[in-house]
Amino acid sequence: MTITTAKWTVDDYHRMVEAGILDDRPVELLNGEIIEMSPEGTPHASLSSQGADYLRDLLGKRVKIREGKPITLSDRSEPEPDIAIVQPMEDEYFDHHPYPENIFWLIEFSNSSLEKDLEVKRKAYAAAGIPEYWVVNLKRMELVVLRSPQEGDYQEKATLTEGTIQPIAFPDVTVAVNRFLKR
């Protein structure tokens, strides 16, 4: 016997949210499945907040930094990355969440969600053509940088514990890796 699970669309998901079905449940839509999100521990909350503030200072009005807000990847995926660095188009985002073409790069801070972030989300973000995806591995205090999405996966991967990096979208900006890791 083969078991087939029902897949949800973004419209289905929005109707559930509007009806209050998902109230008080930390969830996101990923590949047609409603996935529960892990609670944030104190290192996750602290470092993601500090990282977002740091990027705001570095990038200024060139971008909008969205923390824990939805992005729409497709008609079956609307995840909520810890930090989304997107085009500053607030009027547009009143009517819809940022689409892949609005996203410069995404950052997830991961401890208990590490496998999901490095596997499921990595592939979903690559399939959507997100040019750059960073995962802060809180278990090992390292920054995993994924770039060059092609055929549903990233072709470049670097793991950093120190030094600096220039985001693809802003090669004139130098980001200190230690600003995302415990000092």
Q: How far apart are the first and last CA of the chain?
A: 53
Average pLDDT, the chain: 94
What pLDDT, on the 0 to 100 scale, is given for residue 6? 85
pTM score of the predicted model: 0.93
Beta bridge partners of 111: none
Which positions ≥6 away from 110 have C-beta within 8 Å?
A: 44, 116, 117, 118, 135, 136, 137, 138, 139
pLDDT of residue 147: 98
Does any domain span residue 89?
A: yes
The total number of structural domains in the chain stands at 1
Cα 42 to Cα 117: distance, rounded to the nearest angstrom: 18
Find the domain containing 94 and state its range.
Answer: 39-180
Q: Is residue 5 part of a domain?
A: no
Residue 11 covered by a domain: no
Judge whether 9 lies within some domain: no
Beta bridge partners of residue 150, listed in sequence order = 153
Kindly state whether residue 86 falls inside one of the protein's structural domains: yes
Domain membership flag for residue 12: no
Tell whether 6 is covered by a domain: no
- E-strand stretches of the chain: 27-30, 33-36, 64-67, 83-86, 103-110, 132-137, 142-150, 153-160, 164-165, 175-176
CATH of the domain at 102: 3.90.1570.10
Residue 157 in any domain: the answer is: yes
Q: What is the pLDDT of residues 135-145, one digit of tens each?
A: 999 999 999 99
For the stretch 96-135, pLDDT in tens is: 999 999 999 999 999 888 889 999 999 999 999 999 999 9
pLDDT score, position 183: 62
